[in-house]
């Protein structure tokens, strides 16, 4: 036991720096003026092991913080990579918003992301509905990027993609849906773009029910109006929309079709470039 203890103490040896000095036979750091060596008695002997001085401890702390920051950055980058089918959506953020959409709804979506820890605990999501191209998907992607930056897991997908994946699986279909639904935030973009079949409705309901069972929030965007969803006559779709209204806060997104605006700007650009008539 004595030999082991002496080996540990001996292993602390270090050479004195050019600015280091001694006080009462103990080494001190010439930079931070704190001890680099201590004296104590143990197992019948006086020992003088070397210890980190304050500037060395500070350097170790900074290195540890840098390593943690790098690990967190890599983790967030991986979450973001898995979140988006189209990686250009990773650039859709509240900071990059051009404020051409529905400002009131955009602020509500921002407040949702800002208060996501509370929304996560409550399992409460958003239902963004409105005409095509007004910015619903953009708002949802902004929320996704915000919560990802805070370290939460998120996936933004759509039902046609989910249905195609599940349809191509021989086994493990429910396991795939369960794994998808375990993310802190699940975003389903463009509800009602999937095939209008009983099989598609079954998968849609399965995903929504699984998400509800897990008690986790769901953001859904759709071109459907509130009247269309509430007036739906199909029993299966009634169940879907009823559950969505139960799980989410509905927000009507209004405004001009951004896609038409982009198309006009693009046409004008190439019209001038190619000297098109008219």
Residue 76 belongs to some domain of the structure: no
CATH at 161: 3.40.50.300
Shared domain for 110 and 175, answered yes or no, is yes
What is the structure's pLDDT at 256?
65
Same domain for 51 and 88?
no
Predicted local distance difference test score (pLDDT) of residue 237: 93
Residues 35 and 132 in one domain: no
The reply to whether 199 and 121 lie within a common domain is: yes
Band (pLDDT 50/70/90 cuts) for residue 275 is low
Secondary element (H or E) of residue 129: strand 125-130
- pTM for the complete prediction? 0.78
For residue 93, what are the contacts with CB-CB under 8 A and spacing of at least 6? 142, 145, 146
* pLDDT given for residue 270 in this prediction: 62
- Predicted pLDDT at 272: 64
Residues 29 and 107 in one domain: no
Residue 276 resides in a domain: no
Name which of 80-94, 137-151, 250-264 the model is least confident about.
250-264
In a domain, 72, yes or no: no
pLDDT per residue as tens digits for the range 124-161: 999 999 998 889 999 999 999 999 999 999 999 999 99
The Cα–Cα gap between 248 and 245 comes to 5
182 shares a domain with 89: yes
Residues 176-185: what's their mean pLDDT? 97
Q: What angle do CA 127, 91, 178 make, to 5 degrees?
A: 50
Task: Judge whether 203 lies within some domain.
Answer: yes
Q: Do 122 and 251 fall into the same domain? A: yes
Taking only the tens place, the pLDDT of each residue in 49-62 is 999 999 999 999 99
Are 118 and 243 members of one domain? yes
Q: Name the band, by pLDDT with cuts 50, 70 and 90, for residue 11.
A: very low
Among residues 277, 255, 120, 102, the alpha carbon closest in space to that of 184 is found at 120
Distance CA 134, CA 274 (A): 30
Domain containing residue 40: 2-56
C-alpha span between 137 and 139 (Å, rounded): 5
Q: Indicate the number of domains in the chain.
A: 2
The alpha carbon dihedral of 211, 217, 220, 224 has a sign of positive
Note whether 206 and 97 are same-domain residues. yes
């Amino acid at each position: 036991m004595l030999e082991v203890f002496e080996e540990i103490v001996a292993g602390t040896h270090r050479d004195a720096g050019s600015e280091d000095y001694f006080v009462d036979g103990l080494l001190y750091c010439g930079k931070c003026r704190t001890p680099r060596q201590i004296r104590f008695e143990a197992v019948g002997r006086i020992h003088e092991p070397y210890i980190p001085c304050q500037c060395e401890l500070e350097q170790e702390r900074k290195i540890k913080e840098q390593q943690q920051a790098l690990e967190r950055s890599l983790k967030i980058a991986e979450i973001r990579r898995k979140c988006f089918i189209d990686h250009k959506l990773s650039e859709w953020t509240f900071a990059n918003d051009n404020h051409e959409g529905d400002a009131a709804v955009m602020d509500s979506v921002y407040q949702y992301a800002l208060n996501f820890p509370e929304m996560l605990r409550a399992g409460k999501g958003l239902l963004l509905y409105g005409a095509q191209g007004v910015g619903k998907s953009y708002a949802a992607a902004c929320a996704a990027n915000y919560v990802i930056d805070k370290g939460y897991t998120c996936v933004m997908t759509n039902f046609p993609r989910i249905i195609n994946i599940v349809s191509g699986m021989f086994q493990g279909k429910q396991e795939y849906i369960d794994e998808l639904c375990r993310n802190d935030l699940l975003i389903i973009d463009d509800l009602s773009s999937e095939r209008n079949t009983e099989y598609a409705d079954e998968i849609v309901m399965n995903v929504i029910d699984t998400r509800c069972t897990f008690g986790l929030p769901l953001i859904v965007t759709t071109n459907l109006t509130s009247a269309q969803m509430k007036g739906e006559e199909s029993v299966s779709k009634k169940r879907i929309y009823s559950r969505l209204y139960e799980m989410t806060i509905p927000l009507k997104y209004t405004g001009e079709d951004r896609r038409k605006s982009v198309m006009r700007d693009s046409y004008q650009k190439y019209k001038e470039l190619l000297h098109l008539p008219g």
